[in-house]
Amino acid sequence: METQNFDFRKRLRMKKIVFGTIVILAGLFLLAFNFNIIPETIGNVDVKHVVFSWQMLLIMLGIISLSSKERKTPGWILLMIGVFFIIPEIFTYHVSFINIFWPLLLIGIGIIILSNREFHDHWKTRFHQNSVLEEGFLNEANIFSGSKHKIINQVFKGGKISNIFGGTEIDLTHATLGEGQNELAIECIFGGVTLFVPSDWKVVLNVSAVMGGFSDKRYVIKEPSDPSRVLLIKGSAIFGGGEIKN
């Protein structure tokens, strides 16, 4: 448990370092543009528009995701999408960009999926009536697929969920929250997570979202029976998200 929390904090610290560096570079570029150190336009390319574009945002998010030792597939997909859509902003083509790069994007995603053994068994919706946790932790990954878990009479301590064009539904209404702080790391890209938790669980959300979100939609929220037990949900939601329900 302590080793796993230490590894999680180490990965989070690395992401913070990369994110902080990117923010500093963005500030330096903005200063350079404002004082004409770097021209806003070079040739036919609007450099400032390229640097501060949604495509570049996806590229930076991909780099942040790749900076950790967690699953790197989401990072590669974000990087590919950002690069594919930023290329026509820099170069001029005499053929339709969409006709070329959408097929290449799909081919690239397919190659990543086939080359990653971790996702070979996740091609259909799976329902587990009583999922067996590994020492209280759930480790879930879905690409173009989905899964449903129902945790019964087990202690839930957190885990990891990664969804790319997929979804996860977890029923924790018959589970017991572990002692202390229990961290659930999520990463949703064009995907989502739905959690069913008891009304007296203390849940803290720390999820960064880009064109998405993660919210607590429980109709009834009671005072925690044990305030020292906390479910901390961390991670990112990009063109996706999640919700917590009773």
> Binning pLDDT at 50, 70 and 90, where does residue 96 land?
low
Q: Are residues 11 and 73 in the same domain?
A: yes
User: Which region, left, alpha or beta, applies to residue 24 given φ > 0 means left and ψ of -120 to 50 means alpha?
Assistant: alpha
Q: Are residues 95 and 166 in the same domain?
A: no
Q: Are residues 107 and 9 in the same domain?
A: yes
The answer to whether residue 209 scores a pLDDT higher than 80 is no
> Binning pLDDT at 50, 70 and 90, where does residue 1 land?
very low
Spacing of C-alpha 156 from chain mean position: 21
Last residue in a domain, options 115, 146, 172: 115
Greater pLDDT, 166 or 112: 166
The answer to whether residue 123 scores a pLDDT higher than 60 is no
pLDDT of residue 191: 83
Residues with Cβ < 8 Å from 15, sequence gap 6 or more? Answer: 64, 67, 68
Q: Are residues 233 and 135 in the same domain?
A: yes
Max mean pLDDT among 47-51, 131-135, 229-233 falls in 229-233
Share of the chain above pLDDT 90, in %: 4
Q: Are residues 85 and 147 in the same domain?
A: no
Q: What is the mean pLDDT of the chain?
A: 78
Greater pLDDT, 156 or 114: 156
Q: Are residues 181 and 107 in the same domain?
A: no
Q: Are residues 128 and 110 in the same domain?
A: no
Alpha carbons 3 and 45: distance in angstroms, whole number = 49
Alpha carbons 97 and 194: distance in angstroms, whole number = 36
Q: Are residues 110 and 128 in the same domain?
A: no
Question: Which of the residue ranges 55-59, 120-124, 204-208, 215-219 would you say has the lowest mean pLDDT?
Answer: 120-124
> Binning pLDDT at 50, 70 and 90, where does residue 124 land?
very low
Containing structural domain, residue 95: 2-115
Last residue in a domain, options 91, 115, 139: 115
Q: Are residues 12 and 110 in the same domain?
A: yes
Q: Are residues 108 and 143 in the same domain?
A: no
Q: Taking residues 110-121, report their average pLDDT.
A: 59
Alpha carbons 109 and 137: distance in angstroms, whole number = 28
**DSSP readout, the chain?**
-HHHHHHHHHHHHHHHHHHHHHHHHHHHHHHHHHTTSS-SEETTEEHHHHHTSHHHHHHHHHHHHHTSSS--HHHHHHHHHHHHHHHHHHS--SS-HHHHHHHHHHHHHHHHHHH-GGGTT-SS-EEETTPPPBTTEEEEEEES-EEEEEEEEEEE-EEEEEEES-EEEEEEEEEEEPSSEEEEEEEEES-EEEEE--TT-EEEEEEEEES-EEEE--S--PPPSSTT-EEEEEEEEES-EEEEE-
Greater pLDDT, 236 or 96: 236
Encoded amino acid at 43, one letter: G
Q: Which two tokens stand for residue 129?
A: 């009536």
> Binning pLDDT at 50, 70 and 90, where does residue 121 land?
very low
pLDDT of residue 67: 73
> Binning pLDDT at 50, 70 and 90, where does residue 122 land?
very low
Is the C-alpha dihedral spanning 69, 214, 209, 99 positive or negative? positive
Greater pLDDT, 107 or 171: 171
Number of domains in the chain: 2
With 0-12 / 13-18 / 19 or more C-beta atoms within 10 angstroms meaning exposed / middle / buried, residue 39 is: exposed
Q: Are residues 107 and 127 in the same domain?
A: no
Encoded amino acid at 114, one letter: L
Spacing of C-alpha 115 from chain mean position: 20
Greater pLDDT, 9 or 31: 31
CB–CB of 239/211 below 8 Å? Answer: yes
> Binning pLDDT at 50, 70 and 90, where does residue 182 land?
very high
pLDDT of residue 2: 47
